[in-house]
Amino acid sequence: MQNPFSSSEPVTEPSRFYGRRGDIRRIYARIGAERPQSVSVVGEPSMGKSSLLNVLAHPETKRKNLPDPSRSVFALLHLRERDDWRPNTFFQALTRALRSEHPDLPEVSDYDRFREVIRYLASEGFSMIAFFDDFDVITQSPNFPLTFFSFMRSIANTYNVAYITTSSQPLQRLCVLKDVEESPFFNIFTTISLKPLKKGEVQRWVVEESSRSGVSLAREAEWVYDQVGGFPLLVRLLCELLLDRKASRGKVGDSDLDEVSLRFQERIRDRFEAIWDGFSDSERSLCAQLLTSEEISRQQMYIARDLIRKGYVVESEGGYRLFGRTFEQFVADKVGVDLRKGRLSKRRRWWKLW
């Protein structure tokens, strides 16, 4: 059996991508404007930013969302793939990517010749849409001076050019140079915050992808969401373990689900540690409080706002809770709370009703 959840690579095919339809429409509304507009996609690690960018730049998505896709030239760069970027290698890679859709373009590596490439496209009635995954690799590099960002802004302002970037935080917070941080380059972007997938999107993903293997997880789809919420990477890792377990046993019971959950928590602990380390003391305190109470006071809402926006805290029946049982258990272990004696002991485990 080939496990469809075992790949560690971002999704590349639209048919294997679930959710985000609203985000795709919003971004394409800007790409397809008379003057294309730049968009900064911001989301936490594990949120599926690279997969989204792959799907946005895919020819099938382009055909479905642009009235005249032939008049736009797309280029996609995954900037995390190398660590020696400089303006000359950046322009070289960008023009090489443009040539995949427009083979007549030259491969250039300097400011002036790159401007000539864009000027030529404009004269032929083309717009250029450049997709930059992990653009913070550029903003955090001392190899890219203010001159580079001023040039990129002038290109976007002068021609039908737009940039679609991904990053874990707003780009201006990720600048290594002070003058770059204050550059008007960042004013050309509309920011879209990527949130976790919705429950129905996760369940559809789990059911449809598991059916490709011949081992259905339809009965366990709600349990998956209960464990990890809508963080795509976490869903994939948990489903990989769960599908292997079900394939070997034929079915899964309570003990199997508990064992899969424990194995998942061991596998994901370093990632949860990184999340926890990134929280402020007040955010950690709020997370600990939510283990035993679903209430957040008005005074605490300013602390909770970022955690809610990032997806780590979610609304639950008029109150608030952490996004998944596995993260709740992680936090409980960190702060020394016995979940059996807290709020969670009052919840009925839905899968015991089978």
pLDDT cut 70: percent of the chain above it: 96
How many other C-beta atoms are found inside a 10 Å radius of the C-beta of residue 84? 7
Is there a domain that residue 1 lies in?
Answer: no
- Indicate which CATH number applies to the domain containing 108: 3.40.50.300
User: Checking DSSP bridges between strand 319-322 and strand 313-316, what pairing results, if any?
Assistant: antiparallel
Round to whole Å and give the CA distance between 287 and 243.
Answer: 30
Q: Provide the whole-model pTM.
A: 0.91
Binning pLDDT at 50, 70 and 90, where does residue 351 land?
very low
Enclosing domain of residue 310: 199-353
Mean pLDDT confidence for 47-55: 97
- The answer to the question of residue 9 being in a domain is no
The amino acid at 347? R
Kindly tell me if the per-residue pLDDT of 352 is higher than 50: no
Same domain, 164 and 29: yes
**175 and 33, same domain (yes or no):** yes
pLDDT at 295: 85
**Lowest mean pLDDT across 96-105, 163-172, 206-215, 221-230:** 163-172
Same domain membership, residue 180 and residue 48 = yes
Cβ neighbours of residue 69 under 8 Å, at least 6 residues apart?
59, 62, 63
Residue 77 lies in a domain: yes
What pLDDT is stored for residue 353 in this prediction?
A: 25
204-231: average pLDDT: 96
pLDDT at 116 over 90: yes
* pLDDT tens by residue, 6-20: 988 999 999 999 999
Examine the fold and report which residue of 193, 216, 245 is the final residue of a domain before the chain moves on. Answer: 193
- What mean pLDDT is predicted for residues 100-117? 95
Please report which confidence band the pLDDT of residue 115 belongs to, taking 50, 70 and 90 as the band edges: very high
Nearest to 234 by CA among 284, 184, 269, 185: 269
Could you say which of 163, 193, 223 is where a domain stops? 193
pLDDT for the residue 341 = 64
- Report if residue 6 sits inside a domain: no
Among 193, 224, 257, the domain boundary falls at 193
* pLDDT band at residue 277 using 50, 70 and 90 as cut-offs: very high
Residue 129 domain-assigned?
Answer: yes
pLDDT tens figures, 126-160: 999 999 999 999 999 999 999 999 999 999 999 99
CA–CA separation, 321 vs 12, rounded Å?
33
Looking at residue 265, the DSSP 8-state letter turns out to be: H
Phi, psi of 252 (to 5 degrees): -125, 140
Is residue 294 in some structural domain? yes
Q: Is residue 110 part of a domain?
A: yes
Count structural domains, the chain: 2
Would you say 24 and 11 are in contact if contact means Cβ atoms under 8 Å apart? Answer: no
* Domain identity same for 241 and 309: yes
Check residue 300 and report its DSSP letter: G
Confidence at residue 338, expressed as pLDDT on a 0 to 100 scale: 87
Question: What's the mean per-residue pLDDT of the chain?
Answer: 92
CB-based contacts of 24-28 (< 8 A; 24+ apart in sequence): 24/52, 24/55, 24/56, 24/61, 24/65, 25/65, 26/192, 27/56, 27/164, 27/192, 28/56, 28/61, 28/65, 28/66
